[in-house]
Amino acid sequence: MEQCAVKPQAWVPDVARFHNRHVRMEFTGDSAYCQYHLIEFVAEHLIDLSQAFNGDLQQMVILAVVGQVHLSEHLRGDGGPICPTASIASSRIADITRIPRQTVRRKLELMRGRGWVEQGPDLGWRLACRDGKPVAATDLAEISQRGIERGVRLAAAFNRRPACLARMQAPPGWCD
């Protein structure tokens, strides 16, 4: 598929709304095929994660929230250090995930024991780093790689089925 450079301020609102509505219609039109492959992707990834977290998916969700803070900081930055300085309060994690605060604190302590998270000077939580990389990313690298492979497989399945992606490509005029 041809790549195009566009100016976000010129196209995002109208094209994004059109694009999202159109994608929803395509998924609805061939929902069994699309849903099968989407559910296959999600189920396989959750099974993989469940095994890595010994069945504790709450721990996985909490780590994901802490990781999002890290990724957000990294993406806003200049591509500098991978190790985060931004942190998130356990109470905020509880609010976002709707997991009770005491449970969040317990899970964070478990992950601190694994070397995956640490408390910053502000008492917020962030990813712990070793050798300039988040420890959790290193420890979960195989799962991340399998997730990427699943994502590629999902995209390939959608690409094989015109009803899934035929109109997910840029609308006419997008690349003009």
Output the CA torsion sign for 123, 128, 131, 134. negative
**What are the CA-CA distances from residue 38 to residues 21, 28, 31, 144 (Å)?**
18, 13, 10, 17
Gyration radius of the chain's alpha carbons:
20
Is the pLDDT at 165 greater than 60? The verdict is no
The confidence score (pLDDT) of residue 87 equals 92
Domains in the chain with CATH codes: 11-52+141-167 (no CATH), 55-130 (1.10.10.10)
pLDDT tens digits along 35-94 = 888 899 999 999 999 999 999 999 999 999 999 988 888 777 766 556 767 899 999 999
The confidence score (pLDDT) of residue 160 equals 73
Lowest mean pLDDT among 74-88, 101-115, 125-139, 158-172: 158-172
Lowest mean pLDDT among 54-63, 94-103, 138-147, 152-161: 152-161
The confidence score (pLDDT) of residue 21 equals 63
CB 88 within 8 A of CB 69: yes
Neighbours of 117 (CB within 10 A): 25
Neighbours of 132 (CB within 10 A): 8
Alpha helices in 30-134 (DSSP H): 31-52, 57-76, 90-97, 101-113
CB 84 within 8 A of CB 128: no
Residue range 4-16: mean pLDDT, rounded: 44
pLDDT tens digits along 52-62 = 999 999 999 99
How far apart CA 115 and CA 170 sit, in angstroms, is 43
The confidence score (pLDDT) of residue 17 equals 55
How far apart CA 32 and CA 35 sit, in angstroms, is 5
Q: Helix (H, G, I), strand (E, B), or coil: what is residue 129?
A: strand
Neighbours of 54 (CB within 10 A): 8
